[in-house]
Chains A and B, each alone.
Chain A
Amino acid sequence: MSPESMSLFSPKLAARLDALVLKYPQHRSALVPMLLYAQDEVGYLSDVVIAEVAARIGITELEVRNVASYYSMLRFKPVGKYNVQVCTNISCMLRGGYEVYERFQEELGIGHKGVTADGMFSLEEVECIGACSWAPAIQVNYDFHDKLTPEQVPEILAAYRQANAKAALPSLVSHSDEVKIVSKRFGKGAAKIDKYIELGGYESAKKCLAQGPDWIINEMKASNLRGRGGAGFPAGMKWSFVPKQSDKPKYVLVNGDESEPGTCKDHLIFLHDPHAIIEGTIIAGLAIGAKLGFIYLRGEYRYLLEIMEKAVAEAYAKGFLGKNIFGSGTEFQIITQTGAGAYEVGEESALMESLEGKRGVPRIKPPFPAVVGLYGGPTVINNAETIATVPHVIEMGGAAFATVGTPRNGGTRLFSISGHVEHPGVYELPMGYNLKKMIYEVAGGVRGGRGLKAVIPGGSSTPVLLPDEIDIGMDFDQVGKAGSMLGSAGVVVIDDQTCIVEFALRTISFYQHESCGWCIPCREGTDWLKKSLTRFHAGFGEAKDIDHIQYLAENMLGRTFCPLGDAAAMPILGFVKKFRKEFEDHLNGKTCPFAKHVDLAVV
């Protein structure tokens, strides 16, 4: 790039961006991180920032704008010095997110996307930020603050005004039924490599180096470890699909774009056990013959990226990563980066697009990533929890790991429990653990002794379960049989004082916001559902609307380009079918029986 004097960025940032471009196999991959770092320094993506970024990458300004405008964290207008982002998504909503948001509005005297006159603060209502079990949560710039009450709002603002604010770290919970495998090092300082090694870390990687790819894949198959992202595809089988011979380099991708509302498990892994992710990535690389792995975190997890970056640097320093890992003569490198605010990038091929510096729009399949993935090379992409579980599978042996769970559902799972329970948190329980027990014993039951109205078993895209449907084992097959999905294991508990129509509206609002817009049914369907439900919840619904909402959702299901359309349609169908009576109670100008956040301004 141009000499530093030509850059509009500080010398430090300019140097960082110079290096960033060279880090990747293709320059364009640096685009999203470059935009984030430039925005961090300049405040927003001005025309000149876009021009310089375009020049640095070697693409047109139009291409930069196409990409930048896709990601919700990237902005084209200035914000306050402290940008307050309040999550009101389902888990936060259930625990007072809107009340916190309203308090911020009052205190600051601004609304959504407003900036205070002194330029100190700006305010945004944002989608899920991955702190569901510690709801309600906000971010100020990249700092998290969780378990908030409206009363805390003035002190938080005061702390920022006085420049002595301190970000909160999520709290850990425990219960005697937990089987701690993936979480066994949580809270033990294992983010530091020496501690991680002391706790047995990197032994699995060494073992895998000695045993070779076939052995690793066999162990993985024997473990019955199924993908923790939500689809539950057997990890060993996925790895075995990667062709042994390939003209193009192979890659391992770690999907840490944790964005499904109700899910915050990877958050803790990145925070407490980053080396498990590195070790799992190395093992996946050994299994498929890749020399390069990418760990991709969601953009909101900036502080976790910094923890990951430190851990990766430590691993390089120890010789566990690099040209000659563990002195074996084998090469394996890791690149870490974040997204910039896009749920859709959690879809595997969309993540590859994002990693290639493009809009996070999924790719046509087939070909599947195992054959044609990142940069066109064979690619294994796994959820961060799946990858973090891998070293434990190797350590325990695949068969032993499998026995912890239920048939075809090996091991444990990190359940993010949120909503109206006494003790929300991330609990590691064996696959197949009873849902009712999970709510009433592990999480302490419904908050304040209220009645249970409904449970979302696996993140906001999974169909709702009624109280009489929750006496089931939480594994992929049993939840499927009950008409829902285990998904990302984000269990959201809803009490009997909650309006299901409002809950449905908040759910669809999220998918409307996150639809990439590529295909018609998802782009138009989510927007239409959101508008209809907004009007409906505000008391302007008609009887035919209920059928129309169901018709719309049914006609999105299975028709969209990628699973996001299904993720939006399935929960809505569940709500309409199982709570039709409650929808009818909103008809004929009746106000919401649970009226709390009725927004009369219809879209």
Chain B
Amino acid sequence: MERHGLLSYLVGFVLAVVLTAIPFYLVASHALPPSRTMIVIAVAAVLQILVHLRFFLHLNFTTTPKENLLAIAFTAVLLFLMVGGSLWIMIDLHSRMAI
């Protein structure tokens, strides 16, 4: 049990270091064109957030209480609606004002 917990934090730490080092290296070295680097940054960020949720906050589908999973799913929907909707409106407005 104890060993399992230690392993969880160490695996999470190593994965987080790798997922941090890749985007920082790409920005420092300009190894890829900016548009591709942006895609790598976004993918690495999403993966790293999942790594933190799994290995540091210990979220999973067996031991985490249903209420907590429901709350995080609801928050994800809220964020999708509010952030996505606001960006949609503001970017649309921006392009119309620019004419």
Q: Indicate, yes or no, whether A interacts with B.
A: no
